[in-house]
Structure 1
């Protein structure tokens, strides 16, 4: 069970969470200020930089020497030598990660640039070839007898601090293939899922949409879905449906192929379910995810169904159309928020919780760690990429000045701060399972929302602010669990045979009415809106992590509001732990336990209370 360092960027990407975000296409019509761009020189100065060439050469030699020194010998290593071995492996991981982070980030700045795509592809091929020599490491490590493993990892001079990493790796032992097959899968990765991922990205980035005779990209078109003008929202939704429909066969082919490839690998590994690999990588028990899923689906009537009936009433409509789902309220302030104000809003909210949080976020604005502008060919939505622990994270946005864009900034900066704090754990321990990776991002949004709410005395704007937060939480919890159910149904159906576009469309619609409720009508063409959501392609079953994170943060924030002693210190300790502890250990200081089904009801009750407040405003 290996992950190619050449594919690490895709595995670490964090794409913004809903179909209210997408790919860049057109610049905003107003001046939003000087939007920052990435300065990638902390990784490498240029594609032809001498140190990049030197690192590539070093990487090849390091992989060869590592295999010579350790292949066939891991079980015999004494504790101190095992520590040395692991630290050498970690240095190789950093070197490969640094190279691919640079190539990948350049590519995501403009996925339609053939030269950037070739540069990344060539490096991906080279690093995959070099790191094939390392495939033995996890395979051989998992064959170390339990008694010997316990002895080496409990010794004083040994690698005890790395034990959480290898415990997770050894949990994959039942699903490990032969060395030869694992090497084949590693080599084949560049022409398998990674190649289909690139096809998806480049296709989506190149889509165009006809809006009243004007050609627009997907970001500009999706942005219309939150426009105050209902006719513009309708035009945007219909243009999306038309273009998605024209490309449906290609998206169905990508989806079918990736689902089948996953099914084949799962069969060989004897994975009991399509979701098992994700649960293992997230270090979360299937029953915990099932408890989350069941709690959310049971709450649909109390959350989304109830809220959208309210929204239809506010908008004077008998039924909402799909283009009304993310529409602003008629009374909502229409002004766009310039970048300096967005920066100040988020940093002030962070500082209100702790000056340390704002200090950790400040360099993103000052040092070229954010790429915010909307540009042709730029990658989907928003993400925070940690690069490697010896450098720093980079944040990508497509900032258009909407209130939700400010929340996206707060979200991605939360990831960035989390990644900076966890970096002290070192490369192998810094990576946080997806279930906990959303903690700081969603908490950052909550801090920003609460800070804005505290400063809003006008009842009309207060209502709009609360409604916007409820919609974001529904998008994060209800929509993502509906996405998870869609994926579960899709992979189950694909196991029975090839899926036509109509088959996939029907699966998509089967979760839409259930999750959104009877306040909606669904226009012809909406059945194709599964096509561009990147999570289904890049990270199967990723989506439940958002709902997990929102429920977790709601419970954490309740503890914060209740005055839990030393909350800030405990919070920073949680983020600094990275992937070194299980969620049970990390949540214990807060008196929380995600394995308790009642835990999820606590988080969902916060959304219910906000809807209660909105209903009370109607009285």
Structure 2
């Protein structure tokens, strides 16, 4: 079940802060920035519709338990299909409720009334869904031959074969019904409570920069300001503010890492990343090959690029607060919201009018929340909600080129979720590794459109450099984040890690990944503390590198294709969770299990760096 809205998408960490609707006189005129309207889910926190759905699902879940608990093995194929349909109906309504609660909460994490509503919704839904826990556990106790016979005898049941396949991936790792119910019921006062503490702490922090008290999002955005003094002040204040709260962040990190270690031990997962790989439907060796390929490429990618960038600034080394600085000749003009919309939709439309048409719906309706507000979630995300409604996007638009790329990225998620939604609630969910394909492809379409329309050599160089930085943030940075998580979770098994030790591990992976051209100070030791995926979704981050390398290879196929690529691409997105990555990529002649696949994707980034090196 989708417990809440997705966590912030911080794949570009320091560069992809939430975007601010700036008042006139306090920044560039961005035009009218949209805010979402959640009425398509529920009219309000106290709405009769929401209360009625909670009451109905409480009754339905109890009836479902009474009807089917302990009886799945005796059902014929059609009876089993009817049980799944009812389970799907209940789960979709509960997911709708939690999508609404999560989106309201992400809109303002510091409002006490909203926080109370969010927690109350989690607790009520958790109690209701406890009556459903037995269902997947019992499915996993069915014998293979018995399940195969049911599937063969019923077309209705055969439709759910991919979902049953994915549920049964976890057969070896499920615990007794009593333990599973206990863990389910304790979730809201366990991991979910620590997640909430982290979210509300980050949302409440204020950073004194330039005589103003900035949110975390606004402070991080200053790291890409044109003024080097502003970047330096921001870098210093951010590190100091995180440092002032580092004991709390260390406690949250240690607690959740230990919680995961206990869970992994009881469920017999061999490695900290194993559960994530299984949920992503991707083999351990595929992820290992990706990580090794990226780490081996550090010298030819990030090390080489940041050495060049330091020289462009007339320096031998680049301070960490200058890593995402605009290039010296880059005016980075402000892009109004309506222009950003037209740029992204135009790029999508040149690839596929159908894709652009789906994307246009987000702008024509109130499905996007763009302004920065105090208490609003940092980062950006696309939340699918449920197929019977539509996705919502949270972006934070400040008018920079990178913000346009963020919009293109999240819109890619959104159109993917609409296409996959046709599969229905249970079959629409896409593994994270492939969920990033449409988003990164949307970015690539937008970037190529902007690059192809630019004739000024200086501007083209700046655009190419900006794209390289984004790709490094998506690939190198995320694999470094993954490396940090692996080291933390492995070392945590031997005892609690101090905040100083967490800082040491962070600095080790940053130095290794970014290279000798970067210069750090003690304040940067604290920057690990705000990355939300470490808290919300352990080991999620490699999905970005997976998606970027996959898209690089996919885009190369698109450039060489004569006809039919767009149709095959839309079919891939429409498959949702019904197919695995091998089946989805086969029509394009790609295979992620081939080690050469990752080299092909990394070669695109390397080629861009080569081109910049030639230009000097």
TM range (shorter): over 0.9
Residue 607 of structure 2: aligned partner: 609
Instruction: Report the count of equivalent residues.
Output: 612
User: Is 1:68 the counterpart of 2:66 in the alignment?
Assistant: yes
Shift of 1:18: 2.4
1:225 to 223, 226, 231: 223
Q: Deviation of residue 162 (structure 1)?
A: 1.2
**Pick aligned residue for 2:370 from 369, 372, 375:** 372
Deviation at 1:26, TM superposition (A): 8.1
Distance 1:215 1:449 in 2: 34
CA distance in 2, matches of 1:542, 1:236: 28
Deviations, residues 378-407 of structure 1 (Å, cap 9, x unaligned): 012100000001000000011111110000
Decide which of 240, 253, 256 is 1:255's aligned counterpart: 253
Write the mapping of 1:71-220 to structure 2, written as runs, cut at 5 A: 71-220=69-218
Alpha-carbon shift at residue 24 of structure 1 (Å):
6.8
DSSP 3-state at the match of 1:368: coil
| CA-to-aligned-CA distance 1:404-461 (integer Å, 9 cap, x gap) | 0000000000000000000000000101000000000000000000000000000000
Note if contact 2:216-2:378 (Cα within 8 Å) is conserved in structure 1.
Answer: no
Look up the SS of the partner of 2:13 in the other structure: coil
2:422 matched to which residue of 1?
A: 424
From the superposition, tell whether residues 24 and 217 of structure 1 become closer, same or farther in structure 2 (CA, over 3 Å): farther
Among 38, 45, 59, which residue is 2:43 paired with?
45
Is 1:381 matched with 2:386? no
Once the two structures are overlaid, the 10-residue window that deviates more, 517-526 or 249-258, is 517-526
Distance 2:157 2:356 in 1: 34
Distance of 2:331 and 2:454 partners within structure 1: 12
SS in structure 2 of the partner of residue 171 of structure 1: helix
Where does structure 2 lack aligned partners over 5 or more consecutive residues?
Answer: none
Q: How far does the alpha carbon of each residue in 1:554-604 deviate from its partner, in whole angstroms, 9 at most, with x for none?
A: 010000001154100100000000110000000000000000000000000
- Judging changes above 3 Å, is the alpha-carbon distance between structure 1 residues 24 and 353 closer, same or farther for their aligned structure 2 residues? closer
Residue 13 and residue 241 in structure 1: after superposition, are their counterparts in 2 closer, same or farther (change >3 A)?
Answer: closer
* Aligned partners of 2:9 and 2:381 also within 8 Å: yes
What secondary structure sits across from 1:172 in the alignment? helix
**Residue in structure 1 matching 2:521, options 515, 520, 523:** 523
Structure 1 match to 2:531 = 533
2:213 alignment partner, SS class: strand
The Cα offsets for residues 223-274 of structure 1, whole Å up to 9 and x where unpaired, read as 1100111111000000001101100000000000000011111111111111
1:429 match: secondary structure? coil
Q: Give the structure 1 partner of residue 53 of structure 2.
A: 55
- 1:412-451 matches, cutoff 5 A: 412-451=410-449
Does 1:17 pair with 2:11? yes
What's 1:481 paired with?
Answer: 479
Q: Distance in 1 between matches of 2:596 and 2:490?
A: 29
> 2: distance between equivalents of 1:287 and 1:597?
10
Instruction: Indicate if the aligned counterparts of 1:24 and 1:378 stay in contact, CA closer than 8 A.
Output: no
> What's the CA shift for 1:217?
1.4
1:297 to 295, 309, 313: 295
Which range moves more in the overlay, 513-522 or 16-25? 16-25
Deviation at 1:14, TM superposition (A): 5.2
Structure 1 residues not aligned, in runs of 5+:
none
Equivalent residue, structure 2, for 1:560: 558
Taking the aligned partners of 1:263 and 1:153, their CA distance within structure 2 comes to 36
**Structure-1 separation of matches of 2:241 and 2:7:** 26
1:8 matched to 2:6? The reply is no
Residue 168 (structure 1) shift:
1.5
Shift of 1:157: 3.2
Q: Which residue of 2 aligns with 1:354?
A: 352
Contact 1:25–1:376 (8 Å) recurs in 2: no
SS, match of residue 388 in structure 2 = coil
Distance 2:145 2:522 in 1: 61
**Contact kept in structure 2, 1:315 and 1:330, CA below 8 Å:** yes
Which of structure 1's runs of 4+ aligned residues deviate more than 3 A? 22-28
Q: Indicate whether 1:468 and 2:463 are aligned.
A: no
Offset at residue 153 of structure 1 (A): 1.7
- TM-score, structure 1 normalization: 0.97
Matching residue of 1:323: 321
In 2, are the aligned partners of 1:24 and 1:376 still within 8 Å (CA)? Answer: no
Asked if the contact 2:18/2:380 (under 8 Å) is kept, the reply is no
RMSD: 1.2
How far has the Cα of 1:103 moved from its partner?
A: 1.1
Tell me the distance in 2 between the aligned counterparts of 1:449 and 1:158: 44
Kept in 2, the 8 Å contact 1:227–1:327? The answer is: yes
SS at match of 2:293: helix
> Residues 373 and 398 of structure 1 are in contact (CA less than 8 Å); yes or no, is this contact kept in structure 2?
yes
Contact 1:25/1:377, CA 8 A, preserved across alignment? no
Q: CA contact under 8 A between 1:24 and 1:205: conserved in structure 2?
A: no
